[in-house]
Chains A and B, each alone.
Chain A
Amino acid sequence: MKSVWPAALVALLLAPALGAQGVTIHAEVDRTQVSLDEEVVLSVSVSGDQANVPDPLLPSLPNFNVYPSGQTQSINIVNGKVSSSRVYNYVLKPRFPGKTTIDPIRVVSGGKTFATDPIQIVAVRPGSAAQPPPNGGSTERRQAQQSRRGGGDGSDVYVTASLDKEKVYVNEQLTLTVRFHTAVNLLGNAQYDPPTIQGFILEELPPERHGEISQKGRVFHFSEIKTALFPAQSGKLVIGSAKVRCQVQPDSVDPFASDFFQKFLYGGLAGQTRELKTTPLPVQVLPLPDKNKPEYFSGAVGRFRVTAGVDRKSVKVGEAITFSLTVEGNGNLKALDAPKLPEMPSFRAFDTVTSMSMTKAKDVVTGSKVFKTVLVPRASGKLSIPSIPFSFFDPAVGDYVRAGTAPIELEVTGGGPTSPVVGFVTPETSTPGVTSLQEDIRYVKDKPGRSPLSSALAVAAGSLWIHILPLLAFLGATLYGRYDEYLKLDPVGARFRGALAKARKQLRKAQTLASTEPAKAVEILSATLSGFLADKLNLSAQGLTLREVQQKLKTRFPRSSDDTMIQLKAVWEDLEQMRFAGAQQLDVPRTDALVSEIDAVLETIEKEARR
């Protein structure tokens, strides 16, 4: 910096007072006297006690062509308080000779306006500047201008636009150059309309350059504007036409022509307006390939380097450290997102603050972006900030490059009651209790099994075939119930049909009792025979006589044979004899034989009754 304008010093002196209100602003220039073919660098510094300071508002500067020339930002975090400072650089190209004042540059914050003092700049014609120019180019140019004075046909003035590449990847830098050539003197300043550019992110590449070239023996003076373009989408894009409107001297006046005076007086000194425009430029924008694309790729295109660091490596639990992640290199830094930090359960992480510094040397957008994150260790011990993966697409190679930071080891000691607490960290309450440090999944099970009840229910749910059993039982019981109901509707028939089964059941009972209670067994046998015959004949079992039974059988069942009657009579009389003979004459073989005989008679009667 060659000099500082006194007004800027005044602004600096006032800075502490303004700082008390939160924001300070001051401006300075690198020179106060400048030639028309030189530039002045204006630096506007805005500082404040917040992460993002507001942008300055430049006053109207009609006597200059103004080009933004990047900005730098610095952020300080001291004891948890954030302060930042941002410097905005502008290149001012004087348009007219004379004394010019840059009015106060303002910034608005919290409803208040802060401003710099005015700055005066003296612009002089080339060659007469008090501060010598860096080289003699302007002198040569002036001589060249003088040598071509008097031109004026269509080819004397033209404008071109060109790109350094025809095919680029998304977000790769592309440089557009618009160059205005003239071999004649212009009447007034040329008016420039930049091209319509859609689908790109623009970054101006100041300053405007001037020079001379020789074409077909003529010397052309040119002015050149460059712009860095970053395609935001893939496909065929078109950069529209740039337009220049200017006034040139009319055709040369022939002093020997008949209308020389007429032309000289009425038209010779008036300028001719020329409207020039460039041809549209197509650009083929290639999409970034999916092949080899890392999962953590966040869209960076260019060439970058990533580093990480902390402000200190020994810290107590609860104290804050500043973790800085710096990405530097060539590419569209503005579109660069912060690399994703991995999970660090041992730390409490706060919002990331970003600062950026950009230069455009040799028309390449270069710089660095710093991502600062405040980390507060939750636990003591040797803690590690793991490697932060970062990847970018290198257009020169046509592939993704994987980069990453080195892990950072920290020594964290236990925080005591006197451990300082960061300003914006919520202080621990004095009430003792359980403090949740981090969440994680619960541990694996030592005996992973199923409960017996759950397993039983699962088996019950899975064995479909067995579930038919209760249904069958229910259906069977239902049928049985219906049958039982049916029997109750025809008691005589039911008595007739069930006589033999009922009698046989009693016979088995009597047979069982024969050895222990023979008299009772005989009573049962006698009652069984009477009961069977009564059931078959629908009579009362009480008081039945053999004669009556035989008579009724013959009547009811005419097909009853005489042999059956004889057998019945023999069995009946045997039973009568045994009933009255006494229990001592009974033995098991005799009872068994009697049971067989009765069973045979009953079966015969059953058969004859069913014929």
Chain B
Amino acid sequence: MTSRLLGACAAWLCLAPLPAYAAPEGVAQANESYRQGRYAEAVSGYTALVERQPDNPGLRYNLANAYFKKAGTGDFGRSVAEYWRAYRLKPRDSDIRYNFDFALKRAGDSLVPSGTPKEFHWLFYCLSDVELLGLQWLGYWLTLLLATAAILLPDRREGLKPYLAGAAVAWALVGSWWGLRLASDVSSPGVVLESSAEARSGPGPNFPVSFNAPEGRRVSILSKDGDWVEIGVLKEGLKGWVSARSVERL
């Protein structure tokens, strides 16, 4: 019975996501627009595709590229936002990492914080949050099913013990990794869309400007008051209020 249950779960995990794997129709057309330099048209095409498959990192990466090349008002900020979304979905993709870092450097930021070894950063972020959560659930399933089998099959209990211990340790490790990632991730992330957004000391134009945040800079949206949002600039650790239109929430 246990083996049947395990088999069913494995089959479900493999077959259920198959529809999401294939690239959607319309990519070639949008790519052709991009190739010919019609970036506004490419943005429209990729945007429609992303609405159909919001969790497709490749589509978000292509959309970010189109925004980056279009270079209109606020497009650079949108480009950084899309790279960020793509990176969150597939952080080990070398193209996504490169372009995201390229765009961040233009905004005075960088993907790998200074002082952090690149290899460590890659290892810590090689799996997306969702993948880590999925692995965590996998460890949970393995551990509980092996424990169930050990209870129901007393004759094989001794043989199952090493596997059960291994699954429990793996579950604990992945769970800890996932927890650390949750703790280190930016809460309520956003990206500055205005070329030099004026951050004020309060939610309104009557408050003095505290600092200027460059377009494309990653921020954490801390609170909202009407048409104003309070942002925290991650790199410099500054807080200020900007117009809600100046920031795109991820």
Binding site for B on A (CB under 8 A): 295, 439-452, 454-462, 466-467, 469-471, 473-474, 476-478, 480-481
Query: Are B140 and A474 in contact, with the CB atoms below 8 A?
Result: no
Query: Are B131 and A449 in contact, with the CB atoms below 8 A?
Result: no
CA–CA, A330 to B1, complex, Å?
91
CA–CA, A140 to B138, complex, Å?
107
CA–CA, A448 to B61, complex, Å?
9
CA–CA, A466 to B8, complex, Å?
12
**B202 contacts chain A at the CB level, 8 A cutoff:** no
Which of B13, B31, B152 meets A446, CB within 8 Å? B31
A-B pairs with beta carbons under 8 Å apart, 28 shown: A439-B102, A441-B99, A441-B103, A444-B34, A445-B58, A445-B61, A447-B27, A448-B57, A448-B59, A448-B62, A449-B56, A450-B17, A450-B21, A454-B128, A455-B17, A458-B55, A458-B130, A458-B134, A459-B17, A460-B138, A461-B133, A466-B12, A467-B137, A470-B144, A474-B144, A474-B145, A474-B148, A480-B152
Which B108-153 residues have a C-beta within 8 angstroms of A?
128, 130-131, 133-138, 140-141, 144-145, 147-148, 151-152
For B151, list chain A residues within 8 Å (CB).
Answer: 474, 477-478, 480-481
Which B141-187 residues have a C-beta within 8 angstroms of A?
141, 144-145, 147-148, 151-152
Which of B21, B66, B136, B140 meets A455, CB within 8 Å? B21
Which B1-42 residues have a C-beta within 8 angstroms of A?
5, 12-14, 16-18, 20-23, 27-28, 31, 34
CB contact under 8 A between A450 and B131, given known A470-B148, A477-B152, A480-B152: no
Q: How many residues of B contact A (CB 8 A)?
A: 52
CA–CA, A443 to B34, complex, Å?
9
Query: Are B102 and A441 in contact, with the CB atoms below 8 A?
Result: yes
CA–CA, A426 to B103, complex, Å?
28
CB distance from B66 to the nearest CB of A (A): 8
For A447, list chain B residues within 8 Å (CB).
Answer: 23, 27, 58
**B195 contacts chain A at the CB level, 8 A cutoff:** yes
Q: Is the interface of B mostly helix, strand, loop or mixed?
A: helix
Q: From A443, which residue of chain B is reached at the shortest CB distance?
A: B65
CB distance from B160 to the nearest CB of A (A): 12
Sample of 20 more A-B contacts, CB < 8 Å, known A445-B62, A448-B59, A474-B148: A295-B195, A441-B99, A441-B103, A443-B65, A444-B31, A445-B95, A446-B27, A448-B57, A448-B58, A449-B23, A450-B20, A450-B56, A450-B89, A450-B90, A451-B21, A454-B131, A456-B134, A457-B130, A461-B133, A461-B137
**B87 contacts chain A at the CB level, 8 A cutoff:** no
Query: Are B23 and A448 in contact, with the CB atoms below 8 A?
Result: yes
Query: Are B5 and A473 in contact, with the CB atoms below 8 A?
Result: yes
For A458, list chain B residues within 8 Å (CB).
Answer: 17, 20, 55, 130-131, 134
For B147, list chain A residues within 8 Å (CB).
Answer: 474, 477
Binding site for A on B (CB under 8 A): 5, 12-14, 16-18, 20-23, 27-28, 31, 34, 55-59, 61-62, 65-66, 68-69, 73, 89-90, 95, 98-99, 102-103, 128, 130-131, 133-138, 140-141, 144-145, 147-148, 151-152, 195
CA–CA, A295 to B71, complex, Å?
13
Query: Are A467 and B98 in contact, with the CB atoms below 8 A?
Result: no
For B68, list chain A residues within 8 Å (CB).
Answer: 441
For B62, list chain A residues within 8 Å (CB).
Answer: 444-445, 448
For A459, list chain B residues within 8 Å (CB).
Answer: 13, 16-17, 134
Query: Are A470 and B58 in contact, with the CB atoms below 8 A?
Result: no
CA–CA, A105 to B102, complex, Å?
54
CB distance from B40 to the nearest CB of A (A): 15
Query: Are B14 and A452 in contact, with the CB atoms below 8 A?
Result: yes
Chain A CB within 10 Å, residue with most, of B23, B61, B147, B151: B151
For B58, list chain A residues within 8 Å (CB).
Answer: 445, 447-450
Chain B CB within 10 Å, residue with most, of A448, A454, A474: A448
CA–CA, A466 to B144, complex, Å?
13
CB contact under 8 A between A457 and B144, given known A442-B99, A449-B58, A478-B151: no
For B148, list chain A residues within 8 Å (CB).
Answer: 470, 473-474, 476-477
For A451, list chain B residues within 8 Å (CB).
Answer: 21
CA–CA, A466 to B128, complex, Å?
21
Q: From B133, which residue of chain A is reached at the shortest CB distance?
A: A461
CA–CA, A473 to B73, complex, Å?
57
For A295, list chain B residues within 8 Å (CB).
Answer: 73, 195
CB contact under 8 A between A456 and B23, given known A439-B102, A442-B98, A449-B58: no
Which of A444, A452, A469, A471 meets B61, CB within 8 Å? A444
Q: From B142, which residue of chain A is reached at the shortest CB distance?
A: A470
Chain A CB within 10 Å, residue with most, of B20, B65, B69: B20
For B89, list chain A residues within 8 Å (CB).
Answer: 450
For A466, list chain B residues within 8 Å (CB).
Answer: 12
CB distance from B21 to the nearest CB of A (A): 5
CB distance from A2 to the nearest CB of B (A): 53
Q: From B83, which residue of chain A is reached at the shortest CB distance?
A: A441
Which of B13, B34, B59, B99 meets A456, CB within 8 Å? B13
CA–CA, A358 to B63, complex, Å?
50
Q: From B63, which residue of chain A is reached at the shortest CB distance?
A: A444
For B31, list chain A residues within 8 Å (CB).
Answer: 444, 446
CB distance from A287 to the nearest CB of B (A): 13
For B137, list chain A residues within 8 Å (CB).
Answer: 460-461, 467
CB distance from B221 to the nearest CB of A (A): 24
Q: From A296, which residue of chain B is reached at the shortest CB distance?
A: B195
Which of A446, A452, A478 meets B17, CB within 8 Å? A452
Chain B CB within 10 Å, residue with most, of A295, A446, A456, A467: A456
CB distance from B29 to the nearest CB of A (A): 12
CA–CA, A458 to B134, complex, Å?
6
Which of B27, B102, B133, B145 meets A470, CB within 8 Å? B145
CA–CA, A474 to B5, complex, Å?
13
CB contact under 8 A between A471 and B144, given known A295-B195, A448-B61, A477-B152: yes
CA–CA, A563 to B98, complex, Å?
91
For A457, list chain B residues within 8 Å (CB).
Answer: 130-131, 133-135, 138
